[in-house]
């Protein structure tokens, strides 16, 4: 299905592209390699590495086609304009920045694209390491990806969170777990809290043994106690800097 694509391979990363998208190949490849090496260290990936295949889709139609036919993401036949990258197992699909103006809500920025790539590589690591193959689409997977990529420092996310804290409208954990609009904003704060209070080794344990209920077993506390502690931590503005 990629017969018309050319590709560039470096170490364990392969990037497929068509025509003018060669312009972004080095950027994508280096972004993946940078994320891979950092995450390899963070997640203690010593003996068992893996390869990543990235595909730059020249437009939204091609993006949707590859998503369905190659990534086998059946529920993603018509992707939203706010989506410019997605993963499945070891594949990373990226919408060409040349298509951003007409087919996405993004404006191309090299720095921001690097962050997006980083967050998607986190999802690949998460799925590779976890016992649950569906974790990368859950709230905790979203939180870890946003936190480690530092995408939480971009856009309106922190503004929304700070306003909610000031108005004492922090959502409950079960609301975050069940509401897609909430788990795209809040979970990184939970991950940041866990790392700062329990250490990154605990994040590693959660990823490798993921189940919603197991998180609180690993943390050795109830969801109610955790919620109180997390909300108290959130209210100290220095913790979100």
What is the reported pLDDT for 107? 93
* CA distance linking residue 160 with residue 115, whole number of Å: 20
Q: Is 158 helix (H, G, I), strand (E, B) or coil?
A: helix
Per-residue pLDDT, averaged over 55-79, amounts to 89
Write down the mean pLDDT value for the chain: 90
With a cut of 90, say whether residue 158 has pLDDT above it.
no
> What would the pLDDT profile of 103-147 be if each residue is shown by its tens digit?
999 999 999 999 999 999 999 999 898 876 665 557 888 999 999
What are the extents of the domains in the chain?
6-129, 139-240
With a cut of 80, say whether residue 75 has pLDDT above it.
no
What is the reported pLDDT for 238? 85
Q: Note the pTM of the prediction, 2 decimals.
A: 0.92
Least confident of 35-39, 84-88, 156-160: 156-160
Model confidence at 181, in pLDDT bands (50, 70, 90)? confident
Record: fold of 6-129: Neutral Protease; domain 2 (1.10.390)
| More confident: 188 or 211 | 188
What is the reported pLDDT for 34? 97
Residue 205 to residues 9, 44, 126, 195: CA-CA distances in angstroms? 32, 11, 11, 11
DSSP string computed for 202-217: HHHHHHHT--HHHHHH
What is the reported pLDDT for 150? 93
């Amino acid at each position: 299905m990629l017969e018309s694509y050319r590709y560039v391979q470096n170490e364990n990363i392969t990037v497929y592209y068509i025509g003018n998208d060669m312009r972004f190949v080095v950027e994508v490849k280096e972004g993946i390699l940078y994320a891979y090496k950092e995450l390899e260290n963070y997640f203690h990936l010593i003996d068992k590495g893996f390869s990543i295949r990235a595909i730059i889709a020249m437009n939204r139609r091609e993006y949707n086609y590859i998503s369905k036919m190659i990534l086998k993401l059946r529920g993603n036949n018509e992707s939203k304009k706010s989506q410019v990258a997605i993963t499945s197992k070891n594949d990373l699909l990226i919408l060409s920045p040349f298509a951003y103006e007409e087919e996405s809500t993004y404006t191309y920025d090299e720095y921001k694209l690097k962050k997006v790539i980083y967050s998607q590589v986190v999802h690949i690591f998460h799925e590779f390491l976890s016992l649950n193959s569906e974790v990368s689409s859950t709230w905790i997977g979203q939180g870890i990806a946003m936190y480690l990529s530092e995408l939480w420092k971009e856009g309106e996310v922190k503004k929304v969170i700070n306003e909610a804290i000031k108005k004492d409208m922090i959502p409950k954990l079960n609301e975050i777990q069940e509401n897609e609009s909430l788990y795209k904003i809040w979970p990184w704060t939970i991950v940041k809290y866990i790392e700062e209070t329990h250490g990154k080794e605990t994040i590693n344990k959660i990823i490798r043994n993921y189940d919603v209920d197991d998180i609180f077993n690993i943390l050795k506390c109830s969801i109610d106690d955790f919620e109180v502690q997390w909300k108290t931590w959130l209210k100290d503005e220095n913790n979100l800097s």
